[in-house]
Amino acid sequence: MSVVTVPVKLGERSYDVLVGPGALAGLASIVPPAARRAVVVTQASVPVEIDTGLPTTVVEIPQSEEKKSLATIERVCRAFAAAELSRHDVVVGLGGGLVTDVAGFAASCWHRGTSVVHVATTLLAQVDAAIGGKTGVNLPEGKNLVGAFWQPAGVICDTETLATLPEEEWRSGRGELAKYAFLGAESLDELSLEEQVAACVALKAGIVSADEREGGARMVLNYGHTLAHALEAAGFAGEAGDGPAGSRHLRHGEAVAIGLVFAARLARRLGRIDDDRVARHEEVVAGYGLPSRLPPGADVEQLIGFMRRDKKAQQDLTFVLDGPDGVEVVRDVSPAAVAEVLEELRP
């Protein structure tokens, strides 16, 4: 497969996503022409070298989800200052979803807005996190509560960079693939890896183009994420973290997979879907080799507390749920119903 260009159509903020083997060769073509300097935000574990075509400073950020914080944003912005990065220069996020979230948010703040280009090197980042302009960091109170919409100048999804991914990163990306199966990409498993990435990027690009700032339709991209973010906030999941003793740490996509099964069971509890549709969710998640039950030690009331703080919520419990008209936002869900379904998912 040759490199495919997928446009994200947002008027003056439109940009291209380059997908396929060898896409890195197109990096210089999407760096803003006015830029005279680049700062690459990355992690020590990312085994990918890039050439921005500009004098470049590299800033490494920690691996841990706990360090996806305002303190890290300060550290990155101070590195921008040390590099004398101007408003007309460029930030490059090189890595997975944690990197693109941090790099994008720091760029949105620097001089009140500096261009950012993302080079996504994990499956999760290529099919989801690097596209769409959502950036942010965590607080102790919840996942991604502080952030900004800041569209990149372009995104590189070179599938050759996935060759060195450890198995846990593949599982994390497969969780997002499972999500897309219920948003209009049912036959992903019949495609090559490059075609899967391109299909997910195209699907997300279409949704983002219709609803850039998550006022309505874009919220469906959070399918499975309400519980996933609660599990992350509780310490069970993320890039790295410390869950309760005896629990296995989950990657983000694994938490999303559990969230998909939870959302399906909650939709059935509310009379929105039937048993066959729930079984389909369980089948897709199992087909990707992903978990479908809560980790040992999960506290139902704690998880509900974190879900109340979800960005979709309006002083209520709000979920993205399947139904007769497809996946959509459902507000003011009963806490009792949520608790009952969470209890069903205990191992």
**222 catalytic per annotation:** yes
**214 catalytic per annotation:** yes
Catalytic residue among 171, 174, 179, 252: 252
Q: How many CB atoms lie within 10 A of CB 248?
A: 11
**225 catalytic per annotation:** yes
CA distances from 96 to 77, 238, 277, 283, 332 (A): 19, 12, 32, 27, 34
**176 catalytic per annotation:** yes
What are 146's two structure tokens?
A: 């502080």
Catalytic residue among 68, 134, 143, 174: 134
Catalytic residue among 179, 229, 269, 281: 229
Catalytic residue among 212, 214, 239, 254: 214
**118 catalytic per annotation:** no
**144 catalytic per annotation:** no
Catalytic residue among 218, 265, 269, 311: 218
**186 catalytic per annotation:** no
**112 catalytic per annotation:** yes
Catalytic residue among 68, 212, 222, 232: 222
Catalytic residue among 204, 251, 265, 312: 204
**Max CA separation in the chain (angstroms):** 59
DSSP 159-201: GGGGGG--HHHHHHHHHHHHHHTTTT-TTGGGS-HHHHHHHHH
Instruction: List % helix, strand, coil for the chain (3-state, nearest 5).
Output: 45, 15, 40
Catalytic residue among 176, 194, 212, 239: 176
**229 catalytic per annotation:** yes
Which residues does the annotation mark as catalytic?
112, 134, 176, 204, 214, 218, 222, 225, 229, 252
